[in-house]
Amino acid sequence: MKWICFSNPPALSRWTDGYAARFLNDGYRLSWGNVSIFEKFARKYFEESLKDLERAKRALRVEDYPQAVFYAQQSLEKGVKAMLELRRRIVYNHGPELVGIFVEAFEGEWQQEFNHILESLEYLMEYYTRARYPFLMRGDVLSPDDIVTKEIAEKGVLLAEKSLEVVRDYLARRGVIDS
């Protein structure tokens, strides 16, 4: 494995995305000192996921249930992306594709607790759009407040919280974050 090591990382988004991927495909490993760029991204994704979880809990406390579901989903998505970074999978999108990408990336080392992440992703993806936009249902236009109830929001926040515990354990076992 060849290394490209930056003492001062470039201030570009993902090192101009495809440019870094080209180096990786040529057998290089990118690092910032002793930490790979993937580990740094994993850590940052996880930090952001925790912030979103706190936003979800705050929204739940003020009874903004659609916002609670939205931030719970965002929290989980960023947690999953943190795990995917360690598998060298750069994911720019969200939605149903994320479930498939997650399964494919971890199928060789599947753990029982990953099932909880999948169930949480599937539940929260169902409400991801409904928590943000009006939509047509049975001939009526409904708002997020018409659909996302307290129970839905509470379940979504709880699922995200439990899933982030799985993410935390995964990242800690790999030395990316402290346990």
User: What is the per-residue pLDDT across 30-67, written as a single tens digit (0 to 9) for each?
Assistant: 444 455 899 999 999 999 999 999 999 999 999 999 99
Residue of 53 and 6 predicted with greater confidence? 53
Residue of 29 and 157 predicted with greater confidence? 157
Please list the residue range(s) of the chain that carry CATH number 1.20.120.330.
Answer: 38-173
Res. 165: pLDDT tops 80: yes
Res. 170: pLDDT tops 90: yes
Nearest by Cα to 78 from 176, 173, 168: 168
For the domain spanning 38-173, the CATH number is 1.20.120.330
Highest mean pLDDT among 9-13, 108-112, 137-141, 163-167: 163-167
Which pLDDT tens digit goes with each residue over 86-144?
998 877 766 678 899 999 999 998 999 999 999 999 999 988 888 889 989 899 999 99
The pTM of the full predicted model, rounded to 2 decimals, is: 0.80
Which pLDDT tens digit goes with each residue over 139-159?
999 999 999 999 999 999 999
pLDDT (0 to 100) of residue 34 = 55
